[in-house]
Structure 1
Amino acid sequence: MKIVFIATEKLPVPPIRGGAIQIYLESVAATISKKHDVTILSVQDPELPNIESRNGVTYIHFSKENYLPEIIEHLRMVRYDVVHICNRPLWVREIRKVAVDAQIVLSVHNEMFAEEKISFADGLECIHETKKIVTVSDYIGTTIYSRFPSAKQKVKTVYSGVDLQTFHPKWTQQGAKINESIRKELGLKNEKVILFVGRLSKVKGPHILLQAIPNIITEHPEARMVFVGSKWFSDNQVNHFVRHLYTVGAMYKDYVKFIQFVQPKDIPSLFAMADVFVCSSQWQEPLARVHYEAMAAGVPIITSRRGGNPEVIEHEKNGYVVDDFANPEAYAKWINALFTNPSLMEKMGRYGRTKAEKEFSWNVVASNLLSVYEE
C-alpha cells in the first residue's frame, strides 16, 4: 500500500519540537515502512529540509501559512491508497475532493467532534467520507459516537506506544548507570524522586502536585519533586502561571526542582532516575503518552481519573488512579504509600514494564493500525 500521514499544522515531524502526535507518526511510520510505501506531510521547520528520507519514510514539509492548500496541491499530483489525517476532521472534505480513490482514515487525539469544534452537519459529512476513525482512547471514541451515533461502527481505539529500546528501568545495568548519572547531575543522591513531565499549564495540574508537598515531606523528608516541561512545547518563556509555580516552588526550594523543555531523546534518562511518576491532569485528557513512557521505564504511575488516562492503569498493579483528582492530599496519600513500601514500588514498576512490552511497543501499535487499513 501507498500510505500518507498528514500531521497537524502545529509541530513538525520528525518531532524535533516534541508533540505526542508527532512522536506517534514518526514511530509507527518507521515500522509500517518496512512493508509499505510511507510518506509523512508536516509543517516546515528551519532545522529540517523540505524533503528528506529517514528510516524508509519520506518526509515532506509545507509552509505553515499555506499548509492545507499546499497539501491539497500535493494530493492532486500524487496518488495514495490510504490517506491518514491526524486530528483535523474539518480537512476531510477538502482532501476527499482530490484524493477521490483513496481510503481516508482519520485519527482523533482530542475532543475534535465537540460542538465547539465542529458543526453537526460538518461532523456527519466527515464521518460519511472516512473509512475508519482511529482514536487514542476509548474515552475519545465515546466523545464522537455519543454525539454522532452513526460513527460507532467506524470508530476503533488504537492506543499509542513507546520505544522500549530507549527506556531502561533502574533494575537493569544500563538503567542503574543512567539513574546514578542523572541523579548526580541534579544533585539527587538517595532521595526519593517524584517526577512530573508535561506542559506547565493549569489543566495539567502541576500546582495541585506542588500543594501536596507538605503532606509528603511530613512522612518522607527525603522526597524530592522534579517538574520537567515548559508552558508549551519547546517554548521556555515564563508566563503568569509558570511564574506562580516557580514562586510556590521557591517556598520548598530544598524539595522542588524545575527543568525546562527537554528534547524527546533526553526524556528516557529523566524517567530512569524517578521513583514515582505522577500525572495530575485536571482536564479530560485524551490519554497522555507519558503513561507509556513511565511504564517503559519501570516507574509506578499515579494518575487522575480524567479522560482516557485510567485506561492504561491497572489500579494497584502498575499504579494508582486518583478519583479525588483536584485534592493534593489524594496524591500525597498514594505517593507516601509507595515511598513507605519500596518493594511495592519495584513490583509495580516491573508489572508496568511487562505491560508496556506486551501492549504498547511501536510494533504492536503499527500492527494494530495496519489491521485498520487492511479492513
Structure 2
Amino acid sequence: MKIAYIATEKLPVPAIRGGAIQIYISSVAAIIGTKHDVTVFSIQHEELENQEKRGNVRYIRFDEKNYLSSVISQLQQEKYDVIHLCNRPLWVKAVKEATPESKIVLSVHNEMFTFEKLSDEEGKKCLNLVSKVVTVSDYIGSTITNRFPFAKSKVNTVYSGVDLDAFQPPWTSRGSNTRENIRSELGLSNRKVILFVGRLSKVKGPHILLQALPSIKKEHPNVTMVFIGSKWFGDDQVNNYVKHLYTLGAMYQENVMFIKFVKPVDIPKLFAMSEVFVCSSQWQEPLARVHYEAMAAGLPIITSKRGGNPEVINEGKNGFVVEQFEDPESYASLINSLLSDSNKRERLGRNGREKVEKEFSWNNVENNLMRVYNEANSN
C-alpha cells in the first residue's frame, strides 16, 4: 500500500521542536514504512533536509508559507492509496480534488469541528469526502458525531502511543540509573518530585499547582515541583502568564524548578526522576500524550476531569481524576496521599506500565491504523 502523511503547517516532522501530532506521525510512519511505501509531508526546518529518507520513510518538506499548495502539487504528481491528513478538515476538499482516486483518512487531534472553525456546510462536505476519521479520544470523536450524527460509521477512536523502550520505570536497572543520574545532576537527590510537562499556558493549569504548593509543602517540606515546558513548542520567550508563574514560583524557591523547552529525546529521563505526574488541564483537553509517557515511566497519574484525559485512567489503579479541576486543594490532597505512601505509588506505577504495554505501544497504534486504512481501501 502506498501511504502519504500530511502534517500540519505548525511544526516539522520528526518532532525536533516537539508536538504530539509530529511525534505521532514519525512514530507510526517508521513502523508502517517497514511493510508499505510511506511518504511524510511537513514544513521545512533549518536542521532538516528538504528531502531525505529515514529508514524506509521518505520525507518531503516545504516552506510553511506555501505549504498546502506545495503538498497539493506533489500529490498531483504521484498516486497514493491512502492519504492520512492530520487535523486540517478544511484541507480535505483541496486534497481530494488533487488526487480523487486516493482514500483520505482524516485524523483529528483537537476540537476541529466546532462552529468557530467550520460551518455546517464545510463540515458535511469534509465528512462526505473522507473515507474514515480517526480521533485521539472518544471525547474528540463525540465533538464530531454530536454535530454530524451521519458520520458515526466513519469515526473511529485510535489512541496515540509511546516508545516503551525510551521510558523506563524506576524498578528496572536502566530506570533506576537514569533516575539517580538526573536527580543528582539537577540537585534533587533528597527531594520528592512532582512533575508537570506541557506548555506554560493558562489552559494547562500550572498556576493551579503552584497554588496547591503551600498545602503540599506543609506535609512534605522536601517537595520540589518541576515544571517542564515553555509558552509554545521550542519557544522559550517569556510572556505575561509565564512571568506570573515565575513570580509565584519565586515565593518557594526551594520547592519549585522551571525547566524550559526540552527536546522530545530528553523527556524520558525527566519523567524517570519523579514521584508523581500531574496534568492540571483546565480546558477540554483532547487527551494529552503526557499521560502515556507517565504510564510508560511507571508514575502514578493525577489528571483533571477535562476532555479525553480520564479515558486512560482506571481510578485508583493507575491514577486519579480530579473532579474539582479548578481547586488547588483537590490536587494537594491527592498529591499528599501519594507522596506519603511509596507502596501505593509503586502499585499505581506498575499498573500504569502494564496498561501502556498492553494498549498504547506504537505497534498497537500501527495495527489499529492499518485496520482503518484497509477498511478505507475496501470501500
Task: Report the Cα offset of residue 55 of structure 1.
Answer: 2.0
- Aligned match of 1:283: 283
Q: Deviations over 1:158-194 (max 9, x none)?
A: 0000000101111110111110111011111121110
- The SS at the match of 2:153 is coil
- Aligned match of 2:272: 272
Query: Is 1:117 matched up with 2:108?
Result: no
Find the aligned partners of 1:30 and 1:20 in 2 and give their Cα distance: 16
Find the aligned partners of 1:277 and 1:285 in 2 and give their Cα distance: 16
Give the letter aligned to residue 76 of structure 1.
Q
Find the aligned partners of 2:165 and 2:354 in 1 and give their Cα distance: 13
- Aligned match of 1:363: 363
- Aligned match of 2:221: 221
- Aligned match of 2:374: 374
Find the aligned partners of 1:204 and 1:186 in 2 and give their Cα distance: 24
Q: Deviations over 1:12-36 (max 9, x none)?
A: 0011110000000000011111111
- Aligned match of 1:89: 89
Give the letter aligned to residue 22 of structure 2.
Q
Q: Deviations over 1:31-50 (max 9, x none)?
A: 11111101100001111100
- The SS at the match of 2:245 is helix
- Aligned match of 2:76: 76
Find the aligned partners of 2:55 and 2:29 in 1 and give their Cα distance: 9
Worse overlay, 253-262 or 217-226:
217-226
- Aligned match of 2:335: 335
- The SS at the match of 2:165 is helix
Find the aligned partners of 1:308 and 1:160 in 2 and give their Cα distance: 12
Find the aligned partners of 1:99 and 1:276 in 2 and give their Cα distance: 48
Find the aligned partners of 1:107 and 1:267 in 2 and give their Cα distance: 25
Find the aligned partners of 1:73 and 1:325 in 2 and give their Cα distance: 46
Find the aligned partners of 1:178 and 1:115 in 2 and give their Cα distance: 46
Give the letter aligned to residue 325 of structure 2.
F
Task: Report the Cα offset of residue 149 of structure 1.
Answer: 0.7
- Structure 1 outlier segments of 4+, above 6 Å: none
- Aligned match of 1:44: 44
- The SS at the match of 1:287 is coil
- The SS at the match of 1:164 is coil
When normalised by structure 2's length, the TM-score is: 0.98
Q: Identity, % of aligned pairs?
A: 64
When normalised by structure 1's length, the TM-score is: 0.99
Find the aligned partners of 2:55 and 2:309 in 1 and give their Cα distance: 31
- Aligned match of 1:10: 10
- Aligned match of 2:176: 176
Task: Report the Cα offset of residue 220 of structure 1.
Answer: 1.1
Task: Report the Cα offset of residue 90 of structure 1.
Answer: 0.2
Within-5 A mapping of 1:159-308: 159-308=159-308
Give the letter aligned to residue 255 of structure 1.
N
Find the aligned partners of 1:185 and 1:62 in 2 and give their Cα distance: 39
Q: Deviations over 1:94-139 (max 9, x none)?
A: 1110111001100000000000001100100000000000000000
Give unpaired runs (5+ residues) of structure 1: none
Task: Report the Cα offset of residue 204 of structure 1.
Answer: 0.2
- The SS at the match of 1:8 is coil
Find the aligned partners of 2:76 and 2:179 in 1 and give their Cα distance: 51
Task: Report the Cα offset of residue 258 of structure 1.
Answer: 0.3
Task: Report the Cα offset of residue 86 of structure 1.
Answer: 0.2
The CA RMSD over aligned residues, in Å, is 0.5
Find the aligned partners of 1:34 and 1:69 in 2 and give their Cα distance: 29
Find the aligned partners of 1:158 and 1:232 in 2 and give their Cα distance: 26
Task: Report the Cα offset of residue 283 of structure 1.
Answer: 0.1
Task: Report the Cα offset of residue 317 of structure 1.
Answer: 0.5
- The SS at the match of 2:144 is helix
- The SS at the match of 1:101 is coil
- The SS at the match of 1:212 is helix
- Aligned match of 1:353: 353
- The SS at the match of 1:226 is strand
Q: Deviations over 1:246-296 (max 9, x none)?
A: 000000001000000000000000000000000000000000000000000
Find the aligned partners of 1:309 and 1:58 in 2 and give their Cα distance: 33
Find the aligned partners of 2:132 and 2:28 in 1 and give their Cα distance: 17
- The SS at the match of 1:79 is coil
Find the aligned partners of 1:160 and 1:340 in 2 and give their Cα distance: 32
Within-5 A mapping of 1:126-141: 126-141=126-141
- Aligned match of 2:35: 35
Give the letter aligned to residue 50 of structure 2.
N
Find the aligned partners of 2:24 and 2:36 in 1 and give their Cα distance: 17
